[in-house]
Amino acid sequence: MPPPTTFRRRAARALVAAALVARPSPAAADEGAAPKVHVLHLAADDRDDRRALPLTKALEGALLRRTNAQFVNTNKALLAMLREARCGQGLAEAALDANRTLDASSGRALDGACLGRVAAAVGAPLGAAQAFAWGWLYRDGAELRVELRLWQRGRPERRASLAVDETAFERTAERLWRHLFEGEGVGDLHVSAEGSRGELYVGGEHQGPFAGAAELTLPAGPATVELLDKGRLVARGAAEIAAGRTQALTLEPARADEPAPCRGAPAAPPPADDGRGARSPWPWVALGVGGLGLAGAGALFLAREGARGDLDETCAGACPPRAQGDIDRSNRYGTLSAVSLGVGVAGVGLGTFLLWRDGQGRGAGAARAGAPPAGLPLAGVREGGPFVGWRGAF
């Protein structure tokens, strides 16, 4: 069995080597996991530029509520990404030229190679995006339409084209995502009730405002549609939704003595995007750096102990001149270990704080969206060694 000093020296060298070669590597893609989807701001020409942003925000909010996809907040625009990727100039030129307009064929300028380059620009600087949604607004006569496409690495592109309901962007956004993610299992329903207004519900779920007519996209199967006005049942109807088909339903007026169903207040639209709508990658980056720092600190501490063990063998009484190298090495490892410990503690502290703030940002209301954090973690190295603490108001 090797002596303790030799064992410590071997362990220190092994840990130092492991710390030096360690590199964060992307986790293997889970085929069953919900895709992480970036949503690019929709492109539009001068006529409809003011409608592109609210519809984009509605798309982000609707995607955030889905369980079969993860919304990644990039806050990037399609036209800006095309400029970075240096492709798709046909769509960009038409959108930016005051004398030209977009149409249903504008997206043909973006082929597979161009979209791959766009994915790299979308995900920068953390790596190419694995999935992103892009699209544009255009006019078909007087009707405003949206073309939305979902690019996913290694999979066929999906697309959906719908008329835009300018009175309910959230409803249009939900319909688009249903077509993209559940295209084979949904159908469209045209609901009408001439002269009636109120809030529309399907199976008890709020579908937005209603004024005479509305278009819905619903899962295949039976659907009960109700129209309420100030809590009073105005009209109702039922339909059997067929996948891949468009059907019409005219609501029948409710009887005066028919009790209104118990419905909660319509869900408020998602708050204005403040950049905290999605899980940020930075907490995990900070935690990763912190973990490497702590691992490095441990390895360097063992290396220092190994160097001191060599000195114990060499310096029985007074240290000879040849021991100066071991002394310098021991001091250097001690300093680097303290610095690495400070970096590790700071990284873990910052990552934990960012995770906490991310959770607070998701749960806070709009009134508290701009509130400053209560405090900040502190860590570093000073004369007495590494330290960690907290600064702020309580």
* pLDDT 10s digits, 174-198: 999 999 999 889 999 999 999 999 9
Residue 193: the pLDDT is 93
Whether the predicted pLDDT of 386 surpasses 70: no
What integer is the mean pLDDT of 195-206?
93
* Spatial contact of 73 and 277, defined as CB atoms under 8 Å apart: yes
Q: Would you call 96 helix, strand, or coil by DSSP?
A: helix
Residue 311: the pLDDT is 62
Nearest-angstrom CA–CA distance, 343 and 352: 14
Per-residue confidence band for 252, with pLDDT thresholds at 50, 70 and 90: very high
What integer is the mean pLDDT of 217-242?
94
pTM above 0.75, yes or no: no
Whether the predicted pLDDT of 265 surpasses 70: no
Nearest-angstrom CA–CA distance, 392 and 394: 7
Residue 302: the pLDDT is 77
Per-residue confidence band for 28, with pLDDT thresholds at 50, 70 and 90: very low
Q: Would you call 42 helix, strand, or coil by DSSP?
A: coil
Whether the predicted pLDDT of 238 surpasses 60: yes
Whether the predicted pLDDT of 310 surpasses 90: no
Of the chain, the percentage scoring pLDDT greater than 70 comes to 71
Q: Which of 89-98, 122-131, 212-221, 328-337 has the lowest mean pLDDT?
A: 328-337
Q: For residue 140, which phi and psi values (nearest 5 degrees)?
A: -115, 90
H or E element, residue 209: strand 205-219
What integer is the mean pLDDT of 155-164?
96
* Spatial contact of 58 and 74, defined as CB atoms under 8 Å apart: no
Residue 27: the pLDDT is 40
Task: Render 100-132 in DSSP notation, one character per residue.
Answer: ----TTGGGG--HHHHHHHHHHHHTTS---SEE
| Three-point CA angle 224, 222, 256, nearest 5° | 20
Residue 74: the pLDDT is 87
What integer is the mean pLDDT of 234-252?
95
Nearest-angstrom CA–CA distance, 263 and 31: 38
Per-residue confidence band for 276, with pLDDT thresholds at 50, 70 and 90: very low
Nearest-angstrom CA–CA distance, 328 and 307: 9
Residue 345: the pLDDT is 80
- Residues 141-153 have pLDDT tens digits of 999 999 999 999 9
